[in-house]
């Protein structure tokens, strides 16, 4: 495959005051820049040049359901709302970490980024490529600049076409054609710009419109250092059997602690005694495959190579971030942690790794930033 040049964000653009836009303004007939279609199955019309200046993203709304047209109209009618954009978003595991992937119309979403005036970037997104946040690129893309989006057999490789500084809370962006394949819920997220108005001044009207279950994340400088304490948050897994096992994960953040909704823990977690490692609390979907893998380890005479666990369910963020760990869903387990710390090759027995892979687990020892103690469920396998 011919190598494609990557576009990089250089800084803010624009100077004149932008015009107020609806969620989906109509396109002009002629695109600003035209690039070859990268993916025939996931391309859309080339976007026109951005008129006016970029708009600061002040608020991100993220719900478990599609935002209705009436809800969007009411939000746009709030005094102080300057511009909006509706798109799809899901929380998906990539290389062991969870990231927010958005499926957007590049013609409208571009206004909310510093790279909004850089036509080539949004032409590449329209042509079927991904625009990715630069800091996470080394963690998720392979040598040919592809990123696997989704879980296990449902994962699809998307080519990176540009590096972009996205609004906080969005890590990777694809176009709407990709969204139809990747997302279970569409049109469930919205960006809002308030221009000169304080975003906090419209929070209460927003809460009345979207309800208590939607996540409203303030992106202004006063809130950018963390999530709003105690506010409802939600993670929506991508489609596929493993995603279905996680379901809709609502939680709150108190201090540095993630507190999932009690109804989710009651319906999705169970404690059982396992061969070799004793009692563990994991997602109910993972327990049969974990037991099968450990029984297989015993049957193949490899018991001495699995002797301890650092745990399965642990409601927490990835260290140094506000991205949920797979342990928060009870879908991962750490084995033989003393000699298998992060960032090293570790001493996990290769035959044990093969057994766990057979039973639907991915091993963290193959990640770019290795985690050789870590096994996470990526594929549902019938047991018995």
* Residue in this structure with the two tokens 């070859």, named with its chain if needed: 36
pLDDT of residue 252: 83
CA distance 354 to 331: 18
pLDDT of residue 135: 85
pLDDT of residue 22: 37
- Decide if domain 268-377 falls under CATH 3.30.1380.10: yes
Phi first, then psi, for residue 242 (nearest 5°) are -70, -40
- CA nearest neighbour of 234 among 266, 212, 203: 212
Please name the residue ranges forming H helices in 131-175.
137-140
pLDDT of residue 33: 58
The tokens for 282 are: 């994991």
pLDDT of residue 349: 97
| pTM value > 0.75 | no
Instruction: Enumerate the domain spans of the chain.
Output: 7-239, 268-377
pLDDT of residue 30: 57
pLDDT of residue 19: 38
The tokens for 177 are: 């054609």
Please name the residue ranges forming H helices in 174-278.
176-182, 203-210, 241-246, 262-268
Q: Can you state the percent helix, strand and coil of the chain, rounding each to 5?
A: 25, 25, 50
CA distance 313 to 281: 6
Determine which helix (DSSP H) or strand (DSSP E) holds 74, and give its type and residue range. Answer: helix 69-76
CA distance 131 to 158: 10
Residue 362: strand pairing partners: 376
Residue 156: strand pairing partners: 149
- Locate the DSSP E strands across 219-340: 233-236, 248-254, 257-260, 269-274, 278-283, 309-311, 332-335
First to last CA, the chain: 43
pLDDT along the chain (384 residues), means of 10: 33 34 40 71 92 88 94 96 95 87 96 88 94 89 89 84 90 94 90 85 92 84 56 81 90 75 96 97 97 98 96 82 86 91 86 98 89 94 90
pLDDT of residue 105: 97
* Residue in this structure with the two tokens 């998720």, named with its chain if needed: 140
CA distance 303 to 287: 19
């Amino acid at each position: 495959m011919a190598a494609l040049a990557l576009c990089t964000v250089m800084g803010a653009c624009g100077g004149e005051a932008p015009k107020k836009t609806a969620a989906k303004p109509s396109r002009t007939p002629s695109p600003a820049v035209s690039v070859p279609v990268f993916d025939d199955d996931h391309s859309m019309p080339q976007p026109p040049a951005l008129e006016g200046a970029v708009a600061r993203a002040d608020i991100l709304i993220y719900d478990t359901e599609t935002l209705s047209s009436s809800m969007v109209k009411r939000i746009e009618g709030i005094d102080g709302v300057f511009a909006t954009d509706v798109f799809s978003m899901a929380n998906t595991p990539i290389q062991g970490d969870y990231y927010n992937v958005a499926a957007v119309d590049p013609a409208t979403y571009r206004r909310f980024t510093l790279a909004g005036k850089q036509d080539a970037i949004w032409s590449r997104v329209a042509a079927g490529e991904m625009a990715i946040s630069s800091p996470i690129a080394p963690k998720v893309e392979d040598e040919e600049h592809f990123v696997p989006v989704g879980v296990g057999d449902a994962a699809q490789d998307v080519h990176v076409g540009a590096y972009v500084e996205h609004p906080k809370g969005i890590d990777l962006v694809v176009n709407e054609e990709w969204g139809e394949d990747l997302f279970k819920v569409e049109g469930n997220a919205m960006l809002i710009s308030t221009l000169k108005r304080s975003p906090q001044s419209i929070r209460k009207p927003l809460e009345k419109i979207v309800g208590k279950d939607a996540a409203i994340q303030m992106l202004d400088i006063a809130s950018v250092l963390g999530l709003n304490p105690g506010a409802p948050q939600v993670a929506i897994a991508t489609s596929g059997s493993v995603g279905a096992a996680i379901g809709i994960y609502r939680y709150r953040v108190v201090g540095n602690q993630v507190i999932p909704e009690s109804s989710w823990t009651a319906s999705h977690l169970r404690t059982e005694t396992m061969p070799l490692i004793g009692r563990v609390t994991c997602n109910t979907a993972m327990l049969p495959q974990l037991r099968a893998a450990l029984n297989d380890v015993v049957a193949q005479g490899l018991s001495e190579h699995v002797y301890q666990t650092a745990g399965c369910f642990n409601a927490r963020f990835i260290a140094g971030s506000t991205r949920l760990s797979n342990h928060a869903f009870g879908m991962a387990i750490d084995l033989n942690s003393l000699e298998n710390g992060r960032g090293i090759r570790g001493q996990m027995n290769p035959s044990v790794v093969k057994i766990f892979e057979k039973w639907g687990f991915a091993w963290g020892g193959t990640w770019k930033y290795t985690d050789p103690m870590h096994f996470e469920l990526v594929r549902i396998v019938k047991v018995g």
